[in-house]
Every structure is written in C-alpha cells, then in structure tokens.
Amino acid sequence: MTTAKELVKKMTLEEKAGLCSGHDFWHLKSVERLGLNKIMVTDGPHGLRKQAEDADHLGINDSVPATCFPTACTTACSFDRELMFEIGKAIGEECQQEKVSVILGPGVNIKRCPLCGRNFEYVSEDPYIAGQIAAALISGVQSQGVGTSLKHFAANNQEKGRMISNSVIDERALREIYLAGFEEAVKSAQPWTVMCSYNLLNGTYASENKTLLTDILRTEWGFKGLVVTDWGATSDRVKGVEAGLDLEMPSTNGINDTLIVKAVKEGKLSEETLDKIVERVVELILKAQENQKPDFVYDKVAHHNLAVKAAEQSAVLLKNEGGILPASVESDILVVGAFAKTPRYQGAGSSKINPTQLDNAFDAIKALDGKVEYVPGYCLKDHSIHEDMIAEACKAAAGKEKVFIFAGLPDEYESEGFDRTNLDMPESHNKLIEEVAKVNENVVVILLCGAPIVMPWADKVKGILLAYLGGQGTGTACANLLYGKANPSGKLAETFPAALEDNPSINYFPGGTRSVEYRESIFVGYRYYDKIQKNVAYPFGYGLSYTEFEYSDLNVTGENCDLMVEVIVTNTGKISGAEVVQLYVAKGESKIFRAEKEIKGFEKVFLAPGESKQVSFKLNSRSFAYYNAEISNWAVEGGAYEIKVGASSQDIRLSAKVEVSGDEEENKIAYLEAAAPVYFNLPQSSLEVSDKEFEALYGRELPPSERIPGSPFTLNSSMEEIQCTRTGQQVLGMLQAQMAQMFGGDDNEDGDNDIAKMMEAMVMDMPLRNLIMMSQGQLGTDQLNEMICLMNEELKNR
C-alpha cells in the first residue's frame, strides 16, 4: 500500500496547501488522481449529528436520525468504563452506516465553574475522571474503524468570549487540572484527531500555539494523529502550520490555502514543514478509506435499549427519605410537570441530535402503572409562574400517596454560545414544587438539567432523582428507576455547591472581554470545597442506592509509589445494585499548596444481595505527583501519604498510611509561600486572590483583561468592539439580519428557538476574521482589511 509520505511527494504545492483546509463544512478535500477521496467528519459527542445533503454553511440545520445517548454530564456519573466503551462502539457503528469517518468528540474541558453554558457536553470537574471516561468512549468508537476528535484543546472553560478570550493560567494548574484529562485520553486511547479550541492560552491562540500542539501534545504525550481546528478557530494560518496545526475547518474557499502557498514561495514557510502537516492529513484519509464498511447497518432497537441502560446507570439518587423510592405499582401516584411528557433530554447547540425515537416518562410510567394521572404544572413556552396551573397541580396532588414532579432547566437556560448567570431553575418550576409539597408530604422531584442547580425546596421533599440529560431513552429510564426495575448507581462527577458564591472561580468568571484569569489555580471543584471544609449541597462522588454497601479489609502492598490497593465491598441490602468505589490520595503536611485529597482510582462493582467482591487499584508515581513549574516536570514530594477509599469525596470508609520517597529535585515551588500566601491558607469565605499574588504564581506580568480603549481594530476584534463605529454598526446589522433570516422561524415544538438564541448570543463575541468563513469566499482578507481600515479611521475621528 502506498504510504502518505509517498503520496505527498507526488503532489503539487497547491494540492498540498489545499489539503490543509476542508472541502466544505463537513468534508475534507480529495485528490482523486492519487486515490484520495473526500471523507466526512461531523458533530457528536453523545451521538451522530450528520446533516442532510442540503447542509447549511454554519452546520446547524436538521440532521439525519441517530441514537441520542445521554450527554457527557450524565454518562460521567456512571463511572463505568465498560458502559462508555459500549456507547462508543454503538456511535462508531452509526458513523459507519452514515459514512462518517470522524465524529467530533468527546469534550473533556474541566468544569471550572457550574455556569459554563456547555458543561453538559463535558465530563467532570476532575481531570482523572475526564481522561478515563473519555479514553473509554474513544476506544469504543475507534474499535469500529471510525475516528474521534478529542476537544476542545485547551482551556476552553466558558462560552462567553470563547473565540477571542485569553485564558490566563499558571503552569501548575494548567498541567494538573486543564491538560491532564487530555493527556490521559491521548496516551490511553490515541484519538485519530485532537481539536484545538478557539481561545488564546497564555497569550497565544490555541490554533497557533506550538507549545501546546507540538511540544506537549506530540513530543511529550506521543500523539500520532491529526490536529484540527474548532470550526472557525484559525487566526493566522501560516503560524498554525508552523505550530503543528494540520487541518483548518471548515473551508474558507481557498483563501488561507493561498496564504500557505505564498508563504512557501516567499521562503517564509519551509515546504518540509508543510509536508509533515499534509502527511498527517493524508494518513487520516487513508485510514478512513481503509476502515470503511460500505453496506453496514446498525441495530436501532439495540442502540435505543443501550441508551435506556446508560440513562439508568448514570442517574444519581440525591435523596430518598424514608425509602420513598422505589414506588409500588399499587400506589396512587400523580405525575406533575411538562417535562414528563416533553422531556429535556439533551443540550442545546451544535451537539443537538435528531433521535431515532424519544421516550417520555409519563407514557413509560403509565405502562407500568395504569392508574397514574398527570397535570402539566407549568408552561414550556412561558417560564413565568402560572397560578392556575399550580392550583390545578395542588388540587390533583392532595390525597395522592406520592407525587412525582419533573422539573429542571429549559434549553434557553443552558446552551452552547452563552453561559448561565445563576444556578436557579425557572421560578415556575420552583414554586410548583414548593406549593405541591405543602399539600402532599410524599413528593419526589426528578431533575432534567445539564449542570448544578440550587434547590431551595430540597428539605421539603422526600426524594430527588437527578436524571441530568438522559438522551432519547430518559423517559423509560426514569420510570424504571422510580419503580425499582432499575437500581440507581450513578455518582456525581461534579460538586453541587450550596450557593453560587461558594464556587472558587466565581470572582473571576467569565473575566474581562479580553482575558479570564484562573486565579483559583488548582483549587477547582472538590479540591477547593474539601480543602476548606465548605458545606455543599451534594459532594463530588455522591449518590444513593436502593441497597447498602459495606467496605472492609483494606490492604496496601508494594513499594514506594508502585502500590496495589485492595478492598472488599459487600452488598448488605436485599436487592442487587452497583457501587462506585473511589480511591483518593492525600498528602498531610506539605511544602507546597495542595488539595486535601485527589481521586486517583475508581471501579464500579455490581453485587447481588449478600455478595462480596474484591476491588483492586494500581497506583504509580503520577498518583502522588504534582507539577513542579520550576523544573517544568512532574515531581513527587516525599513523606507520609494517606490512601482513602470511600463512596464519595466526603464519605471515606477506610484509610491506610504509606510512606513515599520523594524525587531528588528540591521542591522549589515551596518558596512561593512568601509571595502568594493565599494559596497556602485559603479563606473560609469567598476566594479572593490579589493581582500581586496571582502574578507571583503566574510568573509574569498579567495581560490586560479588557481591550485598551482607542487601540486599532484587527481581524481578531469582536463584533461587540466594532459597533462603536458607523461601519461596524453596518457590518453587525448585516450579520444579525443574516442570522434572523436563517434561524428566526426555526421554532421547536415547545415554542423555543434555541439555535437562534445561541447564534444571537455568539454574534457579539465573534471575531471579524470569521466573516471570511461565513461568506464562503465572497469576502476575502483584502476586502475585510479595507473595512477594518475604514473603522480605524472612524475611531481616530471620534
């Protein structure tokens, strides 16, 4: 078989440059004379989102039917590598049927703040969990000869300003928190592609960041695949080639290809560097062609059943006072809430899948219990309080044995494109629960949402089942869980704080218009809450079951960091169930600032009543290491550590002490304490880090968080910034009119137009350079630069 290197040698310079960008929105270019055909990539990550043949140039119109599996926020709570592999395998099969070569996902960006609008697409606040879950999904997809695209690399932890914002992160936090999940997924599963993010990282766009794309990803981690941009993430295409960016998506109608050709001809870019880039693109095309299964057809029924199973094993039982669950089919039950019939089952934005079927909870409950009744309780089109609907619900609830209320967050409350501003559910949902609980003491709330919320009514209800966004089978899964046909086994992969102001990043989220400072450093999620012993609503790793589990016989063997940890887990209850056994490593006294403990192992074990199983974990030097920024490498601090095993970060059942030898290199980072004491003595209230202390940790002068007033506009200026000029207002007006024409009438059946809302929010943060992509060749760089000159002249004359 002809190799990629051999094929590249036969190409003209123009053909090479052409392969560095897409043919259109979803396809790579072909070189038919060399046997290279167009291959298709398309959105994921929790199922296939392939557009029909009349795809729009923004890539967000209707897609072909596919199985909508639970979103990442949901399946992360399964803590089940085998389940994730199974889901990945099914997604790969659907890609084969639809002739898709690469699916864009999974997303492993850390949930730095619960307000991030895209958190439903991400796995966890913890990098170990994110890397493990992602690696299992990647392995499953790629077992079917279909590639994945690990995204968004890196430090894309908010939607506000994501295309222009500079993520300012100290090196230790970057390595330990924001890159470690990517590292694990790359080393364990070797995704075919990695997608670079829109944002700048410490002053350099991810798409042209050589440290990120080459030095770390390829040289340190051994990544063998291709780096592709997020759609429209290219800033300077030639710099991108030099940095290790292989493929620009989508097509810019040859505009950036021409810049590559020009740079080579002028000697500004070596053809040898270009050849390496093109070889990786050709390798991807060859791999895709070799693995195609032309006549493959997947089993839709089996995949739907898998979606139901995934939702069942991922839902988290938060409260079960008095054993109110599971319910009996003999019980007189009322179902309340429009979500029971029209479920919120996936996130809004580019990941929105057209499901092959959609179960709703009321029908599924009705199939189990024919006597059950229903009232809507609130309106899907209008989230204000409707007193008449609440009164109807209260009247129906009075005298019922139990009431199931389905509530949560509508699409327009969380979506790609914008961040939330609070942790509240709609008042119509909250008041409904409050009022029904006054007339019936046996209320169970089923939550359908993609991220943490506050629950002012939590102590007034007896049961809370967190279904998250459970995919197309969420209705059946909820019914099975409520009636005990399935036993809840999900555990939280993120903390539910008691209040928004408790979050360590809240004073620095979403930052300024030009940069966001990660001043909390490594103290993300439970690393912060556990360190200062902050009360939370529900801790990381938490989740109840209809049975009970006992831990015993903790045994640690081995030498130094290479340890084997074993523990016996027994189901002491009366029904079968699954427990997620979690292992944490804690360093007591330390020269450096550290989290109280960090999760370094987990296993999900299924047990019959009375059954016991031994659960084993392997630890190595990375299990104990921190990133020493002074030596730019991982290091182990010597001394006493504690191995903690339990059912959540705050429910430790057993522990054992071990002694570990440190590295010879001195822990130089310890000397930071004098310059930045806040990290060594975190305040019990709101985390506030001074400019001086964060600058000491960051190791350099902090960049401006806002655009300098009066500074010239560039290709990377945002629509919001240019509207202060007459020309800018005209450009913005034309863009908004285009969006309104494309999406103004695309209402969902419940009256919400989430795509239009997403695009409206994104327009103001969009950089001028993206107009080239959106115009599909009608607007070139020279024309855009002329417009920028006009705006700069107007700026001078203001």
- Catalytic residue numbers read 230
Tokens of 407: 């509530």
Residue with tokens 């089952």: 345
Asked if residues 544 and 737 have their Cβ atoms less than 8 Å apart, the reply is: no
Please list the residues that pair with 572 across neighbouring strands. none
What is the full DSSP assignment across 172-189? HHIIIIITHHHHHHHHHH
Instruction: Give the pairing type, strands 102-104 and 193-196.
Output: unpaired
**Helix H or strand E segment including 665:** none
Burial of 391 (0-12, 13-18, 19+ CB in 10 A): exposed
89 is written with which tokens?
Answer: 């395998």
Q: How far is CA 623 from CA 158, 176, 627, 796, in A?
A: 28, 11, 12, 56
The alpha carbon of residue 81 and the mean position of all alpha carbons in its chain are separated, in whole angstroms, by: 17
* Pair 463, 319: CB distance under 8 Å: yes
Residue 452: asked if its preceding bond is cis (omega within 30°), the reply is no
- Residue pair 66/37 in contact (Cβ under 8 Å)? The answer is no
CA dist., res. 448 & res. 445, Å (int):
10
Strand locations in 273-324 (E): 316-320
Which ranges constitute the DSSP H helices of 19-154?
Answer: 72-75, 81-97, 127-142
What count of other Cβ atoms lies within 10 Å of the Cβ of residue 707? Answer: 16
DSSP 191-213: -SEEEEPSSEETTEEGGG-HIII
Number of Cβ within a 10 Å radius of residue 216? 21
CA nearest neighbour of 490 among 672, 326, 648, 626: 648
Q: CA 535, CA 525: separation in Å to the nearest integer?
A: 12
Largest Cα–Cα distance of the chain, in whole Å? 83
168, two tokens: 């300012």
Residue 168 dihedral angles phi and psi, to the nearest 5°: -100, 110
- In 171-315, the DSSP E strands lie at 193-196, 200-201, 204-205, 226-229
Give the phi and the psi of residue 216 in degrees, each rounded to 5.
-85, -55
- Rounded CA-CA distance 271/264 in Å is 6
The amino acid at 61: N
Phi, then psi, of 184 in degrees rounded to 5: -60, -45
Residues constituting the chain: 798
Instruction: Tell me the C-alpha distance between 219 and 239, whole Å.
Output: 19
CA distances to 170, 225, 298, 421, 429 from 89, in Å: 37, 20, 11, 37, 37
d(CA 472, CA 355): 6
Q: How far apart are CA 480 and CA 157, in angstroms?
A: 35
C-alpha torsion sign, points 745, 749, 752, 758: negative
What type of residue is 783? Q
Three-class DSSP category at 115 = coil
